[in-house]
Amino acid sequence: MSAGISGQAIRRAAGQGRKALVAYYPVGYPDVPGSLDVLRALCGDDDQPGADLIEIGLPYSDPVLDGVVIQRAGTRALDRGVRTRDVFTAVETVAATGTTPVVMTYWNLVDRYGVDAFARDLAAAGGAGLITPDLVPDEASDWFEASDAHGLDRIFLVSPSSSDERIAATAAACRGWLYATAVMGVTGTRTQSSSLAPDLVARVRRLAPNTLVGVGLGVSNGDQAHDVAGFADAVIVGSAFIKPMLAAEDAGDPGDLTGVRTVLADLVDGVRRSG
């Protein structure tokens, strides 16, 4: 599997003697400008190291794989008028910081926009590729063609229920890295990291030894990030960044990024302790 643009970000972290942090945040919450502020914060600055990869979520009206926290943020973003094209502004915002952006989206949104048009606009904005949670390689011929034409990474998912054959085929179809879901079910923070995750990553290592693996769904703090970094190439975190923004809005200060920065510092410390 080619490391692609996004995989190179993971390899750069490895070259620094640590694992990579992938931060997910949806465009449009608390509104589009506010989400751009959060994304910039997640990229870090001179005083606070940020994530190695930013995973920009595109809110969808039927988010069957998203947990309650992401659904709440996504629903509010949709109610406030976020549109598919806003994701390209978000990608440009992240790329301008020097951090690598990828987009996570349900396939229907790409299909409605036009597969080649979406790939064209994503590449033009500086995006590295797409994570497609509800698209399997067997049904991705249009995406293979468009991603090849525009030089974009293809990041597919595997789970603990995936067969050996499915894991091998999915890894072969990826460009960049493979997204391993650490738990069965929907996204969301958990008090303990999944015991299924090490076994799943071990299976990927055995079946596709040259594949970079990111593990997500459930990591909520630096200690969990440290644990996952012990066996994965990248640690993916989403709901833990959205929770403080929901709390800030509920407290009447939707622009307060203090909670996000606190969570980011803890998670960065966790992956950097991985060594």
Does the pLDDT of residue 189 top 50, yes or no? no
The pLDDT tens digits for 40-53 are: 999 999 899 999 99
Tally of structural domains, the chain: 1
Confidence of residue 218 (pLDDT cuts 50, 70, 90): confident
Task: Read off the pLDDT band of 62 (50, 70, 90).
Answer: confident
22 in helix, strand or coil?
strand
What residues have CB less than 8 Å from 30, skipping those under 6 apart? 76, 80, 245, 249, 254, 255
CA angle 46, 8, 164 (to 5 degrees): 130
Question: Domain for residue 55, yes or no?
Answer: yes
**What is the CATH classification number for the domain harbouring 135?**
3.20.20.70
Report if residue 204 sits inside a domain.
yes
* Residue 165 annotated to the active site: no
Active-site position among 66, 86, 153, 249: 66
185 has pLDDT over 60: no
Q: Which two tokens stand for residue 139?
A: 């049904």
Q: Is the pLDDT of residue 241 over 70?
A: yes
Tell whether 170 is covered by a domain: yes
Angle at 87 between CA 222 and CA 120, to 5 degrees: 120
Report yes or no on 275 lying in a domain. no
User: What is the predicted pLDDT for the residue at 68?
Assistant: 87
Is residue 139 annotated as part of the catalytic site, yes or no? no
What value does the mean pLDDT take over residues 6-26?
Answer: 97
Q: What is the mean pLDDT of the chain?
A: 93
Is 107 part of a structural domain of the chain? yes
Catalytic hit among 52, 55, 86, 121? 55
90 is in which domain, residue-wise? 4-267
Question: Does 52 reside within a domain?
Answer: yes
Q: Write the pLDDT tens digit of every residue in 151-182.
A: 999 999 999 999 999 999 999 999 999 999 97
pLDDT, average across residues 219-248: 95
